[in-house]
Structure 1
Amino acid sequence: MVRKLRVGMLLLAVVGNLAWSLSAKANFNGKLTLEIDGLKNKEGQVCVSIFASSEGFPSDRDRGFQKQCTKITDTPLPITFENLKAGSYAVAVFHDQNNDRILNSNVFGIPKEGFGFSRNPEIRTGAPKFSEAAFLVAGPNTNIQIQLKYF
């Protein structure tokens, strides 16, 4: 009887700890550090938008979950975002050389400034889909490297 009670208490403790652990992981706030590489020069700034869904990705910065523009001081350039909940995100980045907060393009729609995306998907005829750039934030620190492309 005592042995069954101990086993039952042990099982209850294990299940309780597992439930607390899963709950704690679902409610954490993580930090995302981006390393922006491939900058052509240090002119202007780098603008980053984080998207939590495909809505607006990658070009509608106003629909981004978080966004910021950072003056270029180092190459590669580190940019950090705090307080991200666990989940799937995609990042769009551009090198805003003239500080107008717009990815400038020519008359054919081809970007005149550098750009990049999380997971560095291959660029063919247009911007990638959210699913091609999506990554998971599932811990306290997530590090992503983004290689800029210039045409």
Structure 2
Amino acid sequence: MNIIFLSLLFFITISKSQNDSGSIELVISEITSDDGVIQILIFSQKKGWPESPNDAWKMLTLPIENGIAKKTITNVPAGNYAITVFHDHDENGEIRKNKVGYPLNDFGFSNNPGLIFGAPSFEKCSKKVNPGKPTRFEIELR
């Protein structure tokens, strides 16, 4: 009887956690060459946005194929997410910057906001991920 109860409890817990999560469909385009990789930081909070890997919810490296990098990330807890990406030609994991701090690598942010003075805010780049359905993020490199 205890085994049946524990099995049922386990099944309910697994079903609930899967229902409370969504997914992110990530598509990065406008990549000028297939050399190197795309480095990605996904944030679920303002803290560390947009550059701190230690504060990111997830960090990914994607290959480039025909000027596009894409991936579907599953089991994403519901909430707001913002994404920053850059083209890492030499695959060293670091974005190159000029003397005033402007990126020399092609880069992009979720929601493709305009840039005036510095990086856009987490709020400007964030999008809601809802349970049970995919949220598409299309980012164009600049």
1:141 aligns to what?
Answer: 134
One-letter identity of the residue aligned with 2:94: I
Match of 1:130 among 90, 104, 122: 122
State the partner residue of 2:44: 52
Q: Which residue of 2 aligns with 1:14?
A: none
Identity %: 29
Q: Is contact 1:44-1:98 (8 Å) kept?
A: yes
CA distance in 2, matches of 1:90, 1:66: 11
Q: Distance in 1 between matches of 2:24 and 2:40?
A: 12
Q: What secondary structure sits across from 1:132 in the alignment? A: helix
Secondary structure of the 2:66 match is coil
Residues 45-66 of structure 1 deviation map (CA, whole Å, 9 limit, x = unaligned):
0011110100000011221001
C-alpha separation between the residues in 2 aligned to 1:60 and 1:112?
18
Q: How many residues align?
A: 126
The reply on whether 1:100 has 2:101 as its aligned counterpart is: no
Q: Which residue matches 2:76? A: 84
Deviation at 1:80, TM superposition (A): 2.2
Is the contact made by 1:26 and 1:86 (CA closer than 8 Å) also made in structure 2? Answer: no
Counterparts of 2:50 and 2:97, CA distance in 1: 15
More displaced, 66-75 or 96-105?
Answer: 66-75
Q: Which runs of 5+ in 1 are unaligned?
A: 1-23
**Which amino acid counterpart does residue 141 of structure 1 have in structure 2?**
P
Q: Could you tell me which residue of structure 2 aligns to residue 67 of structure 1?
A: 59
* Among 7, 10, 20, the residue aligned to 1:28: 20
Deviation at 1:138, TM superposition (A): 1.0
Work out the CA distance in 2 between the residues paired with 1:81 and 1:74: 21
Pair 1:112-2:104 in alignment: yes
